[in-house]
Amino acid sequence: MVLTYTVVLLREEVGGFSVSVPALRGCHTQGETVPECLDMAREAIRGYVKSLRKHGEAIPEDVSEFPFGLGEALEALVYRVTVPLEEAAPVA
C-alpha cells in the first residue's frame, strides 16, 4: 500500500523547519533541511498510520484544502510525499 499526503514545512526564524501533515491531526516533526524534513515527515506518517491500525481506526485520506498561518515562521513550503507501507489496510 502507498499513501500520499500533503506536508507543510514552516521555516523557523531560529533555523530549521517545523513540519506538519494537515490530514493527520497532531502529526508533526521537524528538521534542518528540506530533504531531512521530508524524510522525517515520511517516518512520522508511518508511525501515525501504525498507531491508527493498532487501535482499529481508519486511515484518513489526504486533504485538498487546509487553513494555516505562518505565525513566527519566515515562509511556508508545501510538498506531497508518498509513503510506502508494508501491509495493506483500508483507507477512510
| CATH number of the domain encompassing residue 34 | 3.30.160.250
Pair 20, 8: CB distance under 8 Å: yes
CA dihedral 31, 37, 40, 42 (to 10 degrees): 170
Contact 80, 10 (CB under 8 A): no
Instruction: Assess if residue 84 is contained within a domain.
Output: no
80 domain residue, yes or no: no
N residues, the chain: 92
> Average pLDDT of 18-27?
96
What is the pTM assigned to this prediction?
Answer: 0.87
- What are the grid coordinates assigned to 46, written together? 508511518
Residue 21: inside a domain: yes
- Residue 87 in domain: no
* Domain residue limits at 24: 2-75
Q: What's the number of domains the chain is made of? A: 1
- pLDDT for res 78: 94
Q: How confident is the model at residue 92 (pLDDT cuts 50, 70, 90)?
A: low
C-alpha cell at 77: 513550503
